[in-house]
Amino acid sequence: MRIRLEAVSLQKAGNQPSENEDAYAPESAGASRGAGASGVAPFLAAVADGATESLFSGHWARLLAGAFARGEVPDAQGLLAVLPELQRQWHAHVGAKPLPWYAEEKLREGAFATLLGVRLSEQPTVDCSGTWEALAVGDSCLFQLRRGGLLRSFPWSSPPRSAPPRSSSPRMCTRTDAWAHR
C-alpha cells in the first residue's frame, strides 16, 4: 500500500495562524503507527476541529487526533476509554498557567473538538483490495474520491444545518474497497 499524506489547514478569516484550533495527526505518512513496518499494518490518520468558543480547544483537538493516530482509539468504546487520560493531560496543560478570572471561569466549561479518524487496512490475501474504517464525532467529514469524483462521504452526505451538539455520539463506518493506487 502506497500512502501519501498531505495536511492543509487554514485559520478562520480575520484570525492569526496561531489562533487556528484545528489539529491533525500524524505529521507524515511515515510517522503513522505501523506504517511501513510490514506493508499490511493499518495506517491511521485523524483530524480534529477545536471549537472556537471554548478555551484551549486547539490543545484538546491535538490530544484527540494524536491518540487516534497512535492507535489508542480502536472504536467508539475505545474513545470513551481513552478520554479520562486525555482529559487529565488537558487539565495538566491548562492548570499549569496562572489565569485571569475570565479564563478560570471559562475553563469550568471544558474544551470541545470534533474528531474524525480513518484507518486504512490492506488485505494481504486479496489483490488490490483493502478496508477503510472511520470514526467520527461532530461535523468533520471524510470524502473518498476516485478519478476526480466523489465515491462516498462520512458521516455527512450534505452539510449539517447547524453544528451538532457538544455531546454528539461517535459514529463508525467500515467499507471494503479496491484501492485506487497501489
Provide the binding-site residues for another protein, judged by CB under 8 A: 12-15, 18-19, 52-53, 55-56, 58, 100-106, 108
Phi-psi category of residue 28: left, alpha or beta, with phi > 0 → left and psi -120 to 50 → alpha: beta
Q: Which is nearer to another protein, 102 or 169 (CB)?
A: 102
Q: List helix spans (H) across the chain.
A: 57-69, 76-95, 101-107
Q: Which is nearer to another protein, 2 or 108 (CB)?
A: 108
Q: Which is nearer to another protein, 58 or 66 (CB)?
A: 58
Q: What does the alpha-carbon distance between residue 131 and residue 181 come to, in Å, rounded to a whole number?
A: 13
CB-CB contact of 47 with 26 (8 Å): no
Q: Who's near 31: CB < 8 A, 6+ residues apart?
A: 69
Please state the closest distance from residue 104 (CB atom) to another protein, in A: 7
Please state the closest distance from residue 166 (CB atom) to another protein, in A: 14
Instruction: Name the nearest CA neighbour of 120 among 22, 28, 39, 9.
Output: 39
Please state the closest distance from residue 116 (CB atom) to another protein, in A: 22
Q: Which is nearer to another protein, 42 or 50 (CB)?
A: 50
Please state the closest distance from residue 100 (CB atom) to another protein, in A: 8
Cell of 43: 495506517
Q: Which is nearer to another protein, 18 or 167 (CB)?
A: 18
Please state the closest distance from residue 53 (CB atom) to another protein, in A: 7
